[in-house]
Structure 1
């Protein structure tokens, strides 16, 4: 008797994905995981040398990816990037907004420039990307393809974190935006999901002062953080469900974080 092994396609085979914030942290991990699961991935961020390195890593592992220099705070940059993605990959059916910045300070020491940077990146940047690709998602769904928009928010959207009021506000707005536009897009069979990570080991806090890092450290003392790959696992699960199932809101935290 001759045995045969049936080859099963990867769960995201044929999907065309865009990931912002792909130069590091959660964005890079999500992009790598989506490519490993079979998607063709456009890597969007400002740091092109990191994007090139990640694209080479993904290709060496048998995946398909390329970097596109995009600043999500600049509308013309987003428009150019979206057009380049379409020219190289075709119609996008999976968008992950993972670009973000966290800058802390007590409100009485307000730094308006920092507040503006967080709003422009964490919120308005995500709105720009959603606007740039929503037409693709609607058309992909109309063709019978699975179509996803995933926004990476934060548990900071729901709790009180000292010195991080504006950061938390941007994430709360992003979560609410996700819920609101899901009402707009669900009749077109486009899924919208908001993922809220808890404490995760990334570069997000690289711009915090020693005092702010010490405060966060004391707040989360004894709690092993998640890895970016953990959040990538969550996103990969969300977007690989049958198209009739929308996991609209997920919270992913370390077991010891409450």
Structure 2
């Protein structure tokens, strides 16, 4: 595996997979630049990393705002001179049946999960097209299979997998990895969605949740491979989950 220190940008880094991945990568010697809307929580994550001897910087970020993402990437590049890896991790998961017509949540899910990922790609692509780089897109096992109430969420995560494959085929010098976890300890289920549906999902999560560190390890594995190796996709499920 590669031992080269990299400049890694992580979206949705104020909690959950993003925060744990930031700590995992910083502990391995990488420089992490953290982005999220909750500036106070983000600063806490960065301060903990620095207290533990790592290098981290926190920048407020709204992935649905193209200018915000462009500024996030430009600031990181100006500070460190390069951007080696982007981890597109920010996401929301308000689940409901389609006939509940929670159309505002549909749009939010598209804006964050899909458009937010595209905004990240658009911001780093000019930097990586010539010198190379690595884009890690966090998808979900619900991008591989659809259940009742997951139609919109699954659609965005399936789209993330599709655009990742297209990006890989268009740019031979950019590594592209898709990480698709199942139930994972996070705040993803904390807001939105149909109350009855989310209560059921919370119950299932309580039985099946994987430690967040498992997903962080998968992301770190993909990043730390030699430059000539592309880990195209990692799917992570608890053994107890059928299918």
Highest Rg: 1 or 2? 1
- Structure 2 residue 174 is the aligned partner of structure 1 residue 183: no
Which runs of no fewer than 5 residues in structure 1 stay unpaired? 1-9, 142-146
Q: Which residue of 2 aligns with 1:65?
A: 56
Write the deviation string for residues 170-194 of structure 1: whole angstroms up to 9, x where unpaired: 00000111111100112xx211011
1: CA distance, partners of 2:3 / 2:152: 36
1: CA distance, partners of 2:81 / 2:179: 26
Q: Which residue of 1 aligns with 2:38?
A: 47
Question: 1:11: Cα distance to partner?
Answer: 5.0
SS in 1 for 2:171: helix
- Give the stretch that moved more between structures: 13-22 or 81-90: 81-90
TM-score, normalised to structure 1's length?
A: 0.88
Between Structure 1 and Structure 2, how many residues are aligned? 241
- Structure 2 residue 199 is the aligned partner of structure 1 residue 214: yes
Question: Is the CA contact 1:22–1:51 (under 8 Å) kept in the aligned structure 2?
Answer: yes
SS in 1 for 2:208: coil
2: CA distance, partners of 1:156 / 1:192: 19
1: CA distance, partners of 2:5 / 2:130: 15
Which runs of no fewer than 5 residues in structure 2 stay unpaired? none
TM-score, normalised to structure 2's length?
A: 0.94
- Give the stretch that moved more between structures: 84-93 or 17-26: 84-93
1: CA distance, partners of 2:194 / 2:186: 16
- Structure 2 residue 134 is the aligned partner of structure 1 residue 110: no
RMSD: 1.7
Q: Which residue of 1 aligns with 2:212?
A: 228
Question: 1:43: Cα distance to partner?
Answer: 0.1
